[in-house]
Amino acid sequence: MHKIFSKKKQNSDNIAKHSSGGEATRPNDTSAPANEVNGGSKSSRSSEAPVPSQPPRPRLVFHCQQAHGSPTGIISGFTNVKELYQKIADCYDIPVEEILFCTLNTHKADMNKLLGGQIGLEDFIFAHIKGRPKEVEVTKSEDALGLTITDNGAGYAFIKRIKEGSIMDNVAFISVGDHIEKIDGESLIGCRHFEVAKKLKEIPKGATFVLRVVEPLKSGFSNIGPSSGKKGSGKMGTGKETLRLRSKGPATVEIMNCVWDVKYTAQTIWEIGSRSENPHEFTVGMDESDLKEFGFTDDFIFDLWGAISDAKSGRLKKVQEFTEQF
């Protein structure tokens, strides 16, 4: 059992503290009672009804480990993915640039468990740290390389899936979870996944290019599954109560409906497409919406934009109703 992570310089973000006293008095605090003057006479505005104080919001605390193995840290006080990564980096005293991505409830690079725009209140966070860099020469013998790319929302794009039998499937040392750092020496740090996909797509067929990737740091026990014993509760959380991280605005706790609503999904796609002027805006809109959790491929996103743009321009023909009775 890992012990709670601690350092010489501990802060309130990774160590749970309980205060025994009341709130500290701040200078010029307007919430404090006004001093009585003129021999104890009360202020002329004392007849106004006092504003009821709101109860403090509960402090959300999450447990975290480095995926290759580490003590357990306590993370809190973040509202978006970038702030979360910074809190993890502060907790373990490592540069934030070392964190590639995070998974929920598994130390493995499972792309179905990627941390996206929401975290269950009982989810356990595993941070995957930069490991060995690798460079390979790839010849683009076909139009498609067979990669599905995503990003961590903080400047790193990485491989989410590799199509079986594709060009990249036959390239040694390239794996799911690898961060795509450079193409032909050009740094891709800070690029979104669709920007990296566009650069790969623009490489002409038949060309040879150098791909530099960085794999996540792995432990020596990465192939060992979890214990089947009953020690501890073993509860990893249902995800029903969820902290939703937003690119704009504060994080909120919501009760998530686990049933896939087809009408809601279609309506959301249409609304994003309606307010988008080009494929780039549409891709960004999809990426910042709840639909990011579906992990749609770049090709599928482009196909969706084609259908929406056809509908917006009136190029789609109205289908005649079939009135024959059966």
Q: What is the pLDDT of residues 223-238, one digit of tens each?
A: 444 444 433 333 444 4
Number of H helices, E strands in the chain: 5, 12
Question: Cα dihedral sign for 216, 218, 222, 223?
Answer: positive
Average pLDDT over residues 173-180: 92
Residue 245 lies in a domain: no
Residues 106 and 135 in one domain: no
Q: Are residues 96 and 144 in the same domain?
A: no
Q: How far apart are CA 103 and CA 253, in angstroms?
A: 19
CATH code: domain of residue 176 = 2.30.42.10
Residues 123 and 112 placed together within one structural domain of the fold: yes
pTM score above 0.85: no
Residues 209 and 151 both lie in one domain? yes
Evaluate whether residue 157 is within a structural domain: yes
Question: Are residue 122 and residue 140 in the same domain, yes or no?
Answer: no
Owning domain of residue 146: 130-216
pLDDT digit string (tens) for 125-144? Answer: 999 999 999 999 999 999 99
Domain assignment present for residue 4? The answer is no
Residue 73's DSSP bridge partners are 64
96 and 74 in one domain? yes
105 and 150 share one domain: no
Give the pair of three-digit tokens for residue 187: 């740094």
Residue 55 lies in a domain: no
Mark which of 129, 152, 168 sits at the end of a domain. Answer: 129
The answer to whether residue 273 scores a pLDDT higher than 90 is no
Distance set, CA 78 to CA 14, 60, 85 (Å): 12, 9, 9
**Does a structural domain hold residue 289?**
yes
Structurally, how many domains does the chain consist of? 3
> Same domain for 212 and 283?
no
Residue with the bigger pLDDT between 285 and 64: it is 64
Q: How far apart are CA 103 and CA 67, in angstroms?
A: 9
* Domain stops at, among 188, 216, 244: 216
74-133 pLDDT per residue, tens? 998 888 888 999 999 999 999 999 999 999 999 998 888 888 777 888 899 999 999 999
- Flag whether 65 is in a domain: yes
Determine, yes or no, domain membership for 273. Answer: yes
Task: Considering only CA atoms, give the Rg of the chain.
Answer: 26
List CB contacts of 11: < 8 A, sequence separation 6 or more: 90
Of the listed ranges 69-78, 165-174, 264-273, 317-326, the least confidently predicted one is 317-326
Same domain membership, residue 281 and residue 270: yes
Last residue of a domain, one of 216, 249, 284: 216
pLDDT at 30 over 50: no
Binned at pLDDT 50, 70 and 90, residue 316 comes out as low
Q: Tell me whether residue 192 is in a domain.
A: yes
Name which of 6-15, 76-85, 192-201, 210-219 the model is least confident about: 6-15
CB contact burial 280-307 (16+ within 10 A = b; e otherwise):
eebbebbbebebbeeebbbeebeebbee
Which pLDDT value is given to residue 243? 56
